[in-house]
Amino acid sequence: MKNLGLIVKISNPAAIKLGNEIAAWIAKKGGKVFTDTAHAALIKPVTSVLPDALADSIDVMVVLGGDGTMLYAARLINGKKIPILGVNLGGLGFLTAISSLNEVYPMLERLMKDDFTVEERMMLAISVVRHGKEVSKYKVLNDAVVKGENARLVRLETRINKEYVTTYRADGLIVATPTGSTAYSLSAAGPILYPTIHSIIVAPICPFNLTNRPVVIADWMTVDVTVSPGQSNVQLILDGQVDVPLESGDAIKINRADTSVYLIKYEGKSYFDILRERLMWEVKVDSSSNLLPK
């Protein structure tokens, strides 16, 4: 690895400081650091490129921040098979592999030697069809959310593999990947899925009918959501970061994307370690040894 992409959480001084330290360290090792134009003024030494060109310039991406920064970086990768290493300097950080600063430089040493393993995470492809024509398309790592504004209930006709399921009357509807199962879907009482399972979650948000519960379907299925007639002020929200206004009658088609995101794993820390740490699950002590279970 010689060319490293670096994205930091702009609002976090600690992330900016660490970013500058990493850039200097990589330069001393003979590598080169690239970032997009939005971050170029924050990090030195660095080569600035347009966001659309960043993925073509790097071998690996390092992200300093939380899950939001990771999702931003995943969009910059734009479907290319470039591994991403996340260092949690944000909130929960389910997508980040490293949570301790002591782990950063040993992992960077391994990156320089191409000594690391990755985990594939599926994405969703979303298209918006209006009056029979596709007007926009996107890819997400976490979720696509159809939601009304001003806390109004919306009516969303939902089909799976063209079979009618129901017309949700709810605050909105979440369609999530296994990676996104610990994001908005979790707050809507959705299940936690192991991130490499090939499945899709369909979870209503605060449904009027309390028997409307989240469902999990196979990743080869397609979800079609239609904004029912007479609905206004409805939005499609992508990974919590991109808002797309919808109109009455718009159809949103969601299926597994043909590209994935590849996250670098930190060996010695399992997904359940991350869940236990981020969700503050109880740790039971073995009374006979007073040692934590391994």
**pLDDT tens, residue by residue, 211-240:** 999 999 999 999 999 999 988 899 999 999
> Is the Cα torsion angle 257, 55, 136, 216 positive or negative in sign?
positive
Same domain for 141 and 232, yes or no, is yes
**What is the percent of the chain where pLDDT is above 70?**
96
114-171 residue pLDDT tens = 999 999 999 999 999 999 999 999 999 999 999 998 778 999 999 999 999 999 999 9
- The reply to whether 289 falls in a domain is no
The answer to the question of residue 287 being in a domain is no
Which of residues 158 and 101 earns the better pLDDT score?
158
Across residues 59-85, what is the average pLDDT? 94
Over residues 31-61, the pLDDT tens digits come to 999 999 988 899 999 999 999 999 999 999 9
Q: Is residue 293 part of a domain?
A: no
Looking up residue 237, the CATH number of its domain turns out to be 2.60.200.30
Question: Which of the following is catalytic: 36, 56, 59, 67?
Answer: 67
63 with 142, same domain: the answer is no
How would you classify residue 182: left for phi > 0, otherwise alpha for psi between -120 and 50, otherwise beta?
A: alpha
Please say if the pLDDT value at position 291 is more than 70: no
Q: pLDDT tier at 263 (50, 70, 90 boundaries)?
A: very high
Is the predicted pLDDT of residue 289 greater than 60, yes or no?
A: no
What is the predicted pLDDT for the residue at 96? Answer: 87
Shared domain for 77 and 24, answered yes or no, is yes
Query: Are 233 and 129 contained in the same domain?
Result: yes
Q: Is-catalytic flag, 67?
A: yes
Q: Which domain holds residue 137?
A: 123-258
Segment 266-278 shows an average pLDDT of 81
pLDDT the model gives residue 294:
53
189 lies in the same domain as 67: no
Query: Into how many domains does the chain fold?
Result: 2
49: left (phi over 0), alpha (psi -120 to 50) or beta: beta
pLDDT given for residue 287 in this prediction: 59
